Amino acid sequence: MDFQLTDEQRALKEVVHDFVAREVRPRARHTDEASEFNWPAMRKMGPLGLLGLEVPEEYGGAALDAISVAIAIEELGWGCGSTALAIAAHNGLGLGPVVAYGTEEQKRYWLPQLTSGEGKLACLSLTEPGAGSDLKDGVRTRAVVDGDSWVINGAKMWMTNASISDLMVVLCRTGDRGSHALSHILVPSDTPGVIIGPPEKKMGLHGSPTHAVTFDGARVPRENLLGTEGRGLAQTLATLDSGRVGIGALALGLAQAAYEEALKYSKEREAFGQPIANFQAIQWMLADAATEIEAARLMVYKAAWLKGLKQPYSTMASMAKLFATEVSERVCRNAIQIHGGYGYSSEFEVERMYRDTRLMTIGEGTSEIQRLVIARHILQ
């Protein structure tokens, strides 16, 4: 077993880290305070391949291996939680299903424009007022055939990227109740009848817009069916497995950033005539952070490695997502504790990092759902 990154992966990590340090992290505070997506950085991501991480090169993507994708998202998370979430959702949840299930015509039409950085992003539309973790029976948004079109009616919520997207992958009910009643349909965001509500007022991740979206007779061609009719639930679960590796990587980046800030502050801040890093209470928090981050990184990379080998990785993805996101929350919380009163001030970055990482144990399957997935596997 080789724990070393390849030369290509190390080079990618360096390139993305330098880009994030130059274009993303310096703007993170403004992104948060202004609740403004970082469009300037996004425009520059296209040529770097960051908007098509797993998209084949023939469609304008970077065609990276799964570990490289995790590395890239981790570096984005290190720079800015908001920007990282928007880009991770675009790649994993928006483009992922198109790459995996799209027809050749759908791929050639959508992927080049969505990876270039010249337009907007992609998003996945799952959650509804009555359907969060319970997608199979909870989805009420319905698509019916009318001639050569699908007509969609319903309401979605918590849609990441809705207002900054050109394409929505919408989970709709196309049949009776049950696991074979749901389908994915591609809906251009400017389709008449697609009504995007105002941005949600959230605890954190202010630069990653989240919206409720209503579909009021939205009409799209029948060929916009993505994948197989009635396989929407299975396609969604496979997409979420991949997305959970991404969220684990993003949380890892936030944890790494908070740890670095806490380590730096502990060496600079003095109390009782010496740096607070000399005190055992601080040392133990730093030691725990360094250890847990290393363990989380190994779990995220293992899940990505299994995915790349096309081996079953659903359980490992849940384990990695569960552990990495909960580690990130602990690390960010203790980073604030190490900063003391200053850590509670928005003048210090750890305050924002804690608010941003709080979503990670909720989005793309709560920690409780991850534990259910893991338990079902080990008890079968």
Asked if 329 is an active-site residue, the reply is no
What does the pLDDT read at residue 180? 84
| pLDDT digits 0-9 by tens, 249-286 | 999 999 999 999 999 999 999 999 999 999 999 999 99
Share of the chain above pLDDT 70, in %: 98
Domain ranges of the chain: 7-121, 123-230, 233-379
What does the pLDDT read at residue 301? 98
Q: Which residues of 172-188 are buried (b: 16+ CB within 10 A; e: fewer)?
A: bbbeeeeebbbbbbbbe
What does the pLDDT read at residue 135? 79
330 alpha carbon, distance to own chain's centre: 19
Q: To which H or E segment does residue 143 belong?
A: strand 142-146
Q: Following DSSP, what letter does each residue of 348-380 receive, concatenated?
A: SHHHHHHHHHGGGGTTTS-HHHHHHHHHHHHH-
The CATH code of the domain at 233-379 is 1.20.140.10
Q: To which H or E segment does residue 167 belong?
A: strand 165-173
Of 289, 255, 299, 254, which Cα lies nearest the Cα of 67? Answer: 299
Of 112, 111, 126, 116, which Cα lies nearest the Cα of 161? Answer: 126
Task: Please tell me which residue in 349, 351, 364, 368 is annotated as part of the active site.
Answer: 364
Of 214, 191, 247, which Cα lies nearest the Cα of 128? Answer: 214
| pLDDT digits 0-9 by tens, 91-124 | 999 999 999 999 999 999 999 999 999 999 999 9
Domain 123-230 shares a fold with domain 233-379: no
Res. 138 pLDDT band, cuts 50 70 90: confident
302 alpha carbon, distance to own chain's centre: 18
Res. 372 pLDDT band, cuts 50 70 90: very high
| Residue 85 half-sphere exposure toward CB, CA atoms < 13 A | 28
| pLDDT digits 0-9 by tens, 63-85 | 999 999 999 999 999 999 999 99
| pLDDT digits 0-9 by tens, 219-239 | 999 999 999 999 999 999 999
| Superfamily of domain covering 123-230 | Butyryl-CoA Dehydrogenase, subunit A, domain 2 (2.40.110.10)
Q: Which amino acid is at 47?
A: P
| pLDDT digits 0-9 by tens, 154-211 | 999 999 999 999 999 999 999 877 668 999 999 999 999 999 999 999 999 999 999 9
What does the pLDDT read at residue 2? 81
Dist. CA 49–CA 164, nearest whole Å: 19
Q: Which neighbouring-strand residues pair with 149?
A: 146, 221
Res. 137 pLDDT band, cuts 50 70 90: confident
Res. 1 pLDDT band, cuts 50 70 90: low
Q: To which H or E segment does residue 60 belong?
A: none
CATH architecture under which domain 7-121 falls: Orthogonal Bundle (1.10)
- Collapsed DSSP state (helix, strand, coil) of residue 183: strand
Q: Which neighbouring-strand residues pair with 146?
A: 149
Q: Within a 10 A sphere around the Cβ of 200, how many other Cβ atoms?
A: 14
